[in-house]
Structure 1
Amino acid sequence: MSVIAQVFVVLAGVFHLAVFAMESLLFRKPSTYKRFRVKDDTEAAVARPWAFNQGFYNLFLALGALGGLIAGGDKGHAIALFACACMAGAGIVLIASDRRMAQAAALQAAPPIAALVLAAVL
């Protein structure tokens, strides 16, 4: 895998680590839960269990992408690219389900899509 493709894998992994922190560790803060279109503390209390779970989903994707790069070789790179494909798919689902989430979907999907494309052509 080219170095530039690896850079985009790292960007995708770091983004998903940040989302893990927001969803699983910082979700109780209004400044955090409002990023997810949660209006108030009452809604946040209801949403917290799924946000916590979703955060770990993002952590595992990040670990797959970053761990695959660290492992290296064809198998490690395949793991990293599979994690990127999952990230890209989730971003596409996000924009398809709620057009108001276009910016979040772009942040989520653009780096892993770039990694996939660059890994395929370089």
Structure 2
Amino acid sequence: MTVIGLVLAGLAAALHVFIFYMESIAWTSPRARATFGTTSEEAEVTKSLAFNQGFYNLFLAVAVIIGILCVSGGAAEVGYTLVLAGVGSMLAAAFVLLFSNADLVASAIKQGIFPFLAVVMLVLGIAM
């Protein structure tokens, strides 16, 4: 189960790298505006906020990736700690999104499904 959990954590990290790209690099592009439901004017006004938030997502992904590498390299305690801290934070952020705006349920599910499944599989795998 831990291998499946690590794969799911890797998918969560990859998604958060993509979110970093959309928020920090492509925020004002038509694709990002359509994805996040912002107008051109709103995107310009919120550009610095999105830039910062994108890096938050990138740093969570980096923690998960380093954790996966640590587990693979034999430092299981450090690795699982990093992975669970990273995907746990991703999952918590998805819950914040869900409870802050009921219209964003689909976005919260997309953001939170891989972290949720990773946490479940890792906790079960580590406990066994």
TM-score between the two structures when normalised by the length of structure 1 = 0.94
Structure 2 match to 1:15? 15
Unaligned regions of 5+ residues in structure 2, if any? none
Q: Given the alignment, which residue of 104, 114, 119 partners 2:122?
A: 119
Q: Give the match's secondary structure for 1:27.
A: coil
- Deviation sequence 1:63-107 (CA, Å, 0-9, x none): 011111112211111111110100000000001011111111111
Query: Pairwise mapping of residues 23-42 of structure 1 onto structure 2 (< 5 A)?
Result: 23-38=23-38, 40-42=39-41
Structure 2 match to 1:107? 110
Structure 2 match to 1:6? 6
Q: Pairwise CA RMSD of aligned residues?
A: 1.1
Identity over aligned residues, as a percent?
34
Unaligned regions of 5+ residues in structure 1, if any? none
Q: What is the CA–CA distance in structure 2 between the aligned matches of 1:31 and 1:5, rounded to whole Å?
A: 31
Q: What is the CA–CA distance in structure 1 between the aligned matches of 2:113 and 2:41, rounded to whole Å?
A: 33
Q: What is the CA–CA distance in structure 1 between the aligned matches of 2:117 and 2:92, rounded to whole Å?
A: 13
- Deviation sequence 1:33-52 (CA, Å, 0-9, x none): 231121x2211111111100
Q: Given the alignment, which residue of 94, 98, 108 partners 1:95?
A: 98
- Deviation sequence 1:15-40 (CA, Å, 0-9, x none): 000000000011110221231121x2
Q: Give the match's secondary structure for 2:27.
A: coil
